[in-house]
């Protein structure tokens, strides 16, 4: 990794008063969870239509088959050094909040506390008829599709499907974080899905410095990114933490 680029990023972070982060599937790649797009991505194995709310309403069983595979991957995975480095940045008071598009709970498991889950979580289930949320842990999801204890409708995984609005509270918190930030770390996201993709633009509109970490350039890289660090999040973030931490 280029030392000058790392220095430029650490200097932005050291000077910042309000650092925020936005993460995507690439931050969990080091935990063995495939990203959605690109080679080996989930959308090459599964039809993205399976993540559409209308498809769930028509055929929830088909959607649950894919969800079970996703759950098995997530349950068998552990936070990686990228998650740990972000948790450490929060612990030492540098990182004020993190918005994630991931549904795998790995940021919290690594110790991050100020986490906004914009696309929901696999840890929850929702009855679309009764509008009630349940904890996934209270159901046996291995074989049968979970049913609402009140109305027997098939419960929906607590993740945001295409065609659904993101949780209103989470979106408001995420926009507030982005508009308060004077620096933003964007890690492992292709930044093509709104409203997550609008957050870096909001931050930049308020003159925040944008640091992007990705294995390849994105649509942000040549538009609003100030410092692009090309590399794997699980390698770059611990190095960045070392560069900004006085005892690193
Ligand atoms: P994508 O799969 O679109 O993008 C993942 C990004 O991570 C790409 O830009 C990769 O280059 C990068 N990447 C892969 N491995 C990496 C690594 N080890 N280190 C750093 N970067 C790496 O995933 P998201 O941007 O998260 O939404 O996708 C956004 C949303 O689209 C998802 O939350 C999901 C999906 O449809 C819903 O399900 C609602």
pLDDT in tens, 96-116: 999 999 999 999 999 999 999
Predicted pLDDT of residue 248: 43
Q: Which residue among 33, 50, 163, 189 is best mutated to probe the pocket of ligand 1, counting the most ligand atoms within 8 A of its Cβ? A: 189
Predicted pLDDT of residue 245: 65
* Ligand 1 neighbours by CB, cut-off 6 Å: 24-26, 29-30, 35-38, 41, 51, 101, 119, 160, 188-190, 193, 213-216, 218, 232-234
Question: d(Cα 76, Cα 104) in Å, to the nearest integer?
Answer: 11
Predicted pLDDT of residue 191: 97
Q: Which residues lie closer than 8 Å to 48 by C-beta, 6 or more apart?
A: 36, 162
17 included as an active-site residue: no
Question: d(Cα 200, Cα 210) in Å, to the nearest integer?
Answer: 7
User: What pTM does this model have?
Assistant: 0.95
Predicted pLDDT of residue 246: 61
**Side-chain half-sphere CA neighbours of 86 within 13 A:** 33
Which atom of ligand 1 approaches the CA of 51 most closely?
A: 38
| Residue ranges of the chain whose pLDDT lies below 70 | 245-248
Which atom of ligand 1 approaches the CA of 41 most closely?
A: 2
Predicted pLDDT of residue 39: 81
Angle in degrees, 0-180, between the axes of helices 233-244 and 3-15, rounded to the nearest 10? 60
Question: Cβ distance 20 to 86 under 8 Å?
Answer: no
Q: Which of 101, 198, 199, 107 is nearest to 159 (CA)?
A: 101
Distance (Å) from CA 215 to ligand 1 centroid? 11
pLDDT in tens, 110-156: 999 999 999 999 999 999 999 999 999 999 988 889 999 999 999 99
């Amino acid at each position: 990794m280029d030392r000058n680029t790392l220095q430029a990023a650490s200097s932005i972070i050291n000077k910042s008063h309000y650092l925020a982060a936005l993460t995507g599937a690439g931050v969990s790649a080091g935990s063995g969870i495939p990203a959605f797009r690109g080679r080996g991505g989930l959308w090459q194995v599964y039809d993205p239509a399976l993540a559409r709310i209308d498809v769930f309403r028509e055929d929830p069983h088909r959607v649950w088959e894919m969800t079970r595979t996703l759950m098995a991957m997530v349950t068998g995975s552990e936070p990686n050094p990228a998650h740990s480095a972000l948790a450490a940045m929060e612990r030492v008071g540098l990182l004020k909040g993190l918005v994630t598009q991931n549904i795998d709970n790995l940021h919290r498991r690594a110790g991050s506390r100020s986490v906004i889950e914009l696309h929901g979580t696999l840890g929850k289930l929702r009855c679309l008829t009764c509008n009630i949320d349940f904890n996934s842990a209270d159901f046996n999801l291995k074989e049968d599709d979970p049913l609402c204890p009140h109305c027997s409708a098939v419960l929906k995984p607590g993740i945001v499907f295409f065609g659904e609005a993101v949780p209103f509270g989470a979106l408001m918190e995420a926009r507030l974080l982005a508009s308060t930030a004077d620096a933003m770390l964007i890690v492992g996201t292709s930044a093509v899905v709104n409203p997550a993709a609008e957050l870096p633009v909001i931050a930049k509109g308020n003159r925040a410095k944008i640091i992007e970490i990705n294995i390849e350039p994105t649509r942000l890289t040549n538009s609003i990114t100030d410092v692009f660090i090309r590399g794997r999040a699980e390698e770059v973030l611990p190095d960045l933490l070392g560069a900004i931490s006085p005892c690193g």
